[in-house]
Structure 1
Amino acid sequence: MNYDVAVIGAGIVGLSVAHNLLLERPGLSIAIIEKESIVASHQTGRNSGVIHSGIYYTPGSSKAINCKKGYELMVSFCKKHGIEHDICGKLIVATSQDEESRLMEIYRRGQQNGLKGLKILDPEDIKNIEPHVVGIKAIYVPQSGIVSYKDVAKCLEKLLIQQGVVFSFNQTVKTIDKGQNGYIIKCDTKIVKSRLLINCAGLYSDKIAQKSRVGLKAKIIPFRGEYYLLKEEKKYLVKNLVYPVPNPAFPFLGVHFTRRITGEIDAGPNAVLAFSREGYKKYQANISEFLESISYIGFIKVALKYWQVGLYEMYRSFSKRAFVRALKRLIPEIEESDLIVGSSGVRAQLCDNKGNLVDDFMVDYSDDAVHVVNAPSPAATSSLQIGKTIADKISKNF
C-alpha cells in the first residue's frame, strides 16, 4: 500500500505525531506500523502515569519547553475526551542538608520554567500535606498530576481510526529502502510504501534509524525500572506523589511514591541495566542485545563513570531491604512487609559515544524522514507537544 506518511511505533509519541499531522493536514493517508498486537505496549503502558509539571528541566531545553506546553495540551485533551485524571500536586523532599541546596536549584528552575504556585515547605508544612513523610524542606508542586497514558493512547487510536489511519499490528520492520518516491518498508507479512517516514520506535529507535541509513553516533541503552506496591492496608501512608531530590549526575528521579489513577500506590522505580531491550524481568535476557550494550564504547565510558551508582542500583534490585532503606528516607514508618512486587518498565536511554547519557529530547530531521531518537521521561506528558512540533516542521512537505 502507498501512503503519504508511515509512522513506526504505536506508543504515545507516534500516535501524537499522527494526530497532529491530521490536525494540520486533514486527509493525509497515514499508516502506523507496530510490532505488538496493541498500542502502548512498552514505555507508554509501563510508566508511572505522572503528568509532569516541568520543574526539573534546564530552562530553554527541549524537555522544559515541550513539557510545559505538553502539560497544558495533555490536561486539555483529557478534559475534552473524558479521560480520568487528577491534578493532585506533589512533594519533592530534601531529607539531608546536602540535598537542600539542590532542592533550591530545582525551585529556581521551576520558576524560570514558568511554574506558578510553587511553595517551599518546612517540616510542619510537609506533615500537613503528607502526614507520614519526613523531611527538612520540600517543594510543593501544585501542577503535577496522574493519568493512565494507556487510556490516552487508546483514545488517540480511536480518533485516528475514525480519520482513516491504517494500523498494521504484529508487523516488525525488517528493512527500509529508499525509492524514487519515498520509502519501501518491508515488514513481517506486508510492504508499506510512504513519501515520509517517521520513526517513533522507542527502545528500537536507533535500530530503525540505522535501517534507514542515518549515521547516528549514539545507541539506546535499556534501563529497567522496578516497582513495589504498597499493600492495601498501608496505602494510607501516601496521599499523592512524593519524590526525593534527584542525583544530579544521573538522569533518573530516584525511588519515589506514586498514587496511580487506579488508587494503587507505587514505590520505585530503581534504574538497572536491562539484559535486553524489553527485559522487564530480572533474568530476561537477549544475549546479542546485552553484548551489544556492554561492548559499546559509550556505555563502557558511562560504566566507568557511574560504576558505584550502577552497582548499588543492581544490589538494590536484588535486595528488598536495600530498596526499602531508600524509601524509609521519605517515610520512616514503611517496612519490608508493607510491600509486594509490582510492575516494571524499561526506559530507552540514548547514550552517545563520548559516554554521555543524553538527557534532552533528540529528534533528527531530514527532507523526508523524522527520527525521534531520544524521548525519555517526560515524553508521555510532552507527547502532544512533541507531535505538534514535528507536524509543524514537516507539514510544509505536503
Structure 2
Amino acid sequence: MGHEPLDLRSGRIIAVDTATLRHAAASFDDIVDECGRLRASIADAAADLYGSASAVTVQDLIRRAERIGARAADLAGGLRETAIIYEIIELDAQRAAAVSAGDARAAADLTGRLDRLAGTAPDQAALAEMLVARAPDPHGALVGQLILGTLPLSGLGALPGIVAPLILGAGIGTLTAVKDAGLGVVGHDSRLRSRVPPPRLTLLAATPGSAPRSVAEIARRIPSGGAGSIRVERYAMADGGKRFALYLTGTRSIGGPGAFDMESNAQLYLRRGSESYEAARIALQRAGARPGDAVLVSGHSQGAMVGSRLALEGEFDVPALVGFGNPIQADLGAQTLQVDLRHSDDPVAALAAGGHATTIGAPGSVVAERTVDPLPSLGDLSATVHHLDAYIASAEMLDASADPRMDAVRERIGELADAASVDVFVFDAESAGAVRDDLAQRHGPAG
C-alpha cells in the first residue's frame, strides 16, 4: 500500500465559496481607501517639511502607501475575477444536472444566466471552460488500475487472456453505466421507493463505553468481520438530554443469512428499502432512540449508504454522517455535517460517479480522498483498497490534517464528550428469509 496524500475538498468541481471571495475583495477595497487617505495625510505633512531633511523620508512613505494601495487593488480585482470564474463553473454544473433530470425550464433559465454572465466576462468564461476541461476524471485512477492490473493476466495463457479483457470491459462498462444512470448521486429530496419486512435483531452485548475522540476512532468502532453488524452508543448528556451514535458494517455476504448482504446492497443503490436499512432503524429504537433524536451516523460501504438513507428519510436528526467508501453521495442538507472518505482506486466508492458537482452539507463538510495503492497488481482485483483497514489509515491522516475544515469535524465529534454516561449495544441482524428457512427446518412446512 502506498502513502499518497489526502486531497481535501468541499465538492468535486466546486470547492470555492464565491461569497467569501467577494467579501475578501471588499476588504481589500477598504485597504485601498485607507491607503489613499494615508497618502493624502502624508502629502499634507510633506508640504510643511519642504526642503528639510525629513522630506525624503516622507516621500518614501508616500510611495509605499501607493504601492500597497495598488497591490490591494490588484488583489481585489483578482478575487472578483476568480469568483466569476467559479460562478460560471457552478452554473454550468447546475445546468448539466437540470438537463440530466429532464427539467427543461430550469435548464433554459440556467442557460440564460450563464450566457449573460459569460457575456459580461468573456475572459473569465474562457478560463472556466479550460478548468472544467482539465478537471480530473473521478474514475481515472480506478480505470488505470483496471487496465494495468489485468495486463499480467494476458501473458498467463489462453483463458486468462480471455478473462482480462472481460474484467476490463465489465469494470469500465459498469462505471460508465452508473454515471449515465445517475444512481450514485442522490438529491436531498430522494426517498426510498419501497419498504421490506424487518429482519430479526439479536442483542449480543450491552456494556458501558466512552465517546470517540477522532474520525479514526469512529472508523475503528464500525463492526467488521466479527460478531455483530450494528453498534449503537447511547449518551446521557449532562443537561438531561440524550444522544446516539450509530456504527454500521459493510456488506457481509453475497446472500443471507445476515441482513447486510448483496441483495440489500443492490436494493439500497436502486433507492429501495432493504433489510439492512430496517435493521439500523430497529437497533436505534431498541437502544432507546425516538423519532427526532440526534444520531451521529457512521458506516463502511453499505453501512455508509444505509446511514445516508437514514439521514434522508428524516426519522432521526442526523447532525453528522461519517462515511467510509460510500457507494453513493447524498445531499443531506445544510444541517448535516458530511465527512466523506473515499479512495480514488476503490471500485465501490467509484459507484458514486464522482459525487455532487457542488458543495453539499453543513459548513465544514469535507470530502477526503487519496489513491491508496497506485502501483497495479493482481491484488487490485480483490479490492483491498476498499477494506475498512485501508480507510482507518486514511482517517488517521485526516485527523492529522491542519485543514481548517477539520475544526468543524472535531467540534461535532467533541459534542459527545460532554456525556455523563455512555451505554454501548451491539446487535446482529438476521435476514427475515433466513429466519423463515430456519423455522421451516426446525418445525417442518406449515400444514
Which of the five TM-score ranges fits, normalised by the shorter chain?
under 0.3
- Normalised by the length of structure 1, the TM-score is 0.24
Higher normalized strand content (fraction of residues) = 1
Higher normalized helix content (fraction of residues) = 2
- Normalised by the length of structure 2, the TM-score is 0.22
Structure possessing the higher radius of gyration over alpha carbons: 2
